[in-house]
């Protein structure tokens, strides 16, 4: 009877999933929720499941992001076979827009003091604005989605709907009071203490009990690839890469064979267009930027008394402002970046093209053409031939005039190895 009782206890312990893992994985998700960030979080959950980790903590600080990337993360969290804890931290962080969905989808939602959550109203991404009917459909679909998540995690459905329809935003203490999150913890150590002994029901129906006292926390950093792609998806970086790519190709076309500017410019353009895939790009903005550069180039070749320069600068400025079209602040270009870049671009093209035109118009300094107009001295009488000294060199010379030795001469022509000269007047 005693053996049966012990066996029963073992079975119950396994059924409850007591203290199965030896460590907790920690992901630091900071920035826009985009495909690279989604890949980082999804792979983190898979790694935690594969290694048999006790739990996975996502330390979150995001202004929001793309709906598709957010849904991919939420889907993975809801079906995870390891407890997922979303911790909005450190103080001053936020879980806005897409971050609201991710936080509410977690098995345990926690926030640090001084953080906030909310403003989950869907924004219009893309070149074409949604009409009222389509926007209403999108909002209703988003509301249904977040209410489903809230119901699954037994959280406040009414506030979840309000966050989407009215862009409601609340503090950590308010979120705890309204049962939007489960706890408030000022640090990771305090969070682990609060989690100790908490029961978590996983998607498969299995229940586990967290034993976090003295547990090892392993930080899983972004891979170099994910970090690079995440950086490239920043609107400011994409814009700067676009401008650098245009500079590089311009240099290469102006100086064929330079190679380096063309290679760098080509790489920058490819990276810029890759980043544009993850951003709501307005291609009219790109067209205006290209038009602005063409106008600046024409200014050097056509006398417009500054009209082409003004048109080019205005076109560059409008194109830069229109390039990324989104009501979301984190997806828009900052004027503090756009204005200096436009002014630097205008100055760069005007200066570079002016130097090129001057170089083409400058009289040759070497070869036969470089001798034309040079002054020298007759070493012998020239009648009609003799010798002269020009630029420290002795040349055979001929002239249509009678020139005496010692007189100053000017080169007016070159025929083979002979110079045609004339007496320099005065």
377 an active-site residue?
A: no
Closest CA to 102 of 138, 140, 64: 64
Where does 18-54 show beta strands of DSSP type E? 23-30
Q: By the 8 A CB rule, do 349 and 337 touch? A: no
Q: State the Cα–Cα distance between residues 120 and 132, nearest whole angstrom.
A: 18
Which residue among the candidates 69, 76, 93, 97 is catalytic per the annotation?
A: 97
Contact 230, 222 (CB under 8 A): yes
Buried b (16+ CB within 10 A) or exposed e, 401-422: eebeeebebbbeebeeeebebe
For residue 385, CA distances in Å to 255, 376, 402 come to 43, 15, 9
- Asked whether 317 and 342 are in contact (CB, 8 A), the reply is yes
Q: Where are the beta strands (DSSP E) in 167-326?
A: 169-171, 183-184, 199-201, 207-209, 216-219
Strands 183-184 and 108-111: parallel
- Alpha-carbon torsion 36, 40, 42, 47, what sign? positive
Quote the CA–CA distance of 300 and 297 in Å, as a whole number: 6
Largest pairwise CA distance in the chain = 139
**22, 75, 137, 227: the active-site residue:** 137
Crossing angle for the helix pair 235-254 and 307-323, to the nearest 10 degrees: 140
Active site includes 97? yes
* CA 347 to mean position of chain CA atoms: 24
What stretches of 112-258 adopt beta strand conformation (E)?
A: 116-118, 169-171, 183-184, 199-201, 207-209, 216-219
CA–CA separation, 26 and 43 (whole Å):
12
96 neighbors 175 (Cβ within 8 angstroms): no
Active site residues: 97, 137
């Amino acid at each position: 009877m005693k053996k049966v009782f012990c066996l029963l206890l073992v079975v119950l312990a396994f059924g409850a999933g007591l203290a199965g893992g030896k460590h907790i994985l920690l992901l630091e998700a900071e920035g826009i929720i985009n495909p690279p960030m989604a890949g980082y979080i999804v792979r983190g959950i898979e790694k935690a499941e594969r290694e048999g980790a006790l739990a996975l903590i996502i330390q979150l600080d995001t202004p929001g992001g793309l709906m598709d990337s957010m849904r991919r993360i939420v889907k993975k969290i809801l079906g995870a076979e390891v407890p997922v804890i979303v911790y909005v931290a450190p103080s001053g962080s936020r879980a806005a827009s897409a971050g609201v969905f991710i936080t509410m989808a977690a098995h345990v939602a926690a926030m640090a003091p001084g953080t906030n959550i909310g403003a989950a109203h869907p924004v219009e991404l893309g070149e074409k604005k949604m009409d009222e009917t389509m926007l209403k459909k999108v909002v209703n679909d988003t509301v249904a989605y977040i209410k489903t998540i809230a119901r699954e995690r037994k959280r406040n459905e009414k506030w979840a709907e309000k966050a989407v329809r009215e862009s409601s935003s609340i503090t950590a203490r308010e979120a705890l009071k309204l049962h939007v999150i489960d706890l408030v913890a000022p640090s990771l150590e305090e969070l682990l203490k609060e989690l100790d002994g908490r029961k978590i029901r996983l998607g498969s129906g299995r229940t586990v009990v967290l034993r976090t006292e003295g547990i090892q926390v392993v930080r899983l950093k972004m891979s170099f690839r994910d970090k690079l792609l995440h950086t490239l998806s920043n609107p400011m970086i994409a814009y700067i890469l676009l401008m650098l790519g245009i500079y590089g190709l311009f240099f290469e076309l102006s100086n064929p064979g330079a190679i380096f500017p063309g290679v760098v410019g080509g790489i920058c353009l490819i990276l810029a267009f890759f980043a544009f895939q993850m951003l709501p790009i307005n291609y009219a903005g790109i067209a205006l930027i290209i038009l602005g550069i063409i106008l600046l180039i024409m200014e050097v070749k056509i006398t417009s008394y500054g009209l082409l320069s003004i048109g080019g600068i205005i076109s560059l400025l409008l194109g830069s402002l229109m390039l990324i079209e989104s009501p979301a602040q984190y997806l828009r270009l900052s004027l503090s970046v756009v204005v200096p870049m436009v002014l630097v671009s205008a100055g760069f093209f005007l200066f570079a093209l002016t130097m090129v035109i001057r170089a083409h118009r400058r009289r040759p300094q070497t070869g036969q053409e470089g001798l034309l107009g040079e002054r020298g001295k007759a070493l012998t009488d020239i009648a009609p031939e003799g010798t002269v000294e020009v630029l420290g060199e002795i040349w055979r010379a001929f002239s249509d005039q009678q020139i005496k030795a010692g007189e100053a001469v000017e080169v007016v022509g070159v025929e083979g190895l002979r110079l045609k000269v004339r007496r320099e007047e005065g």
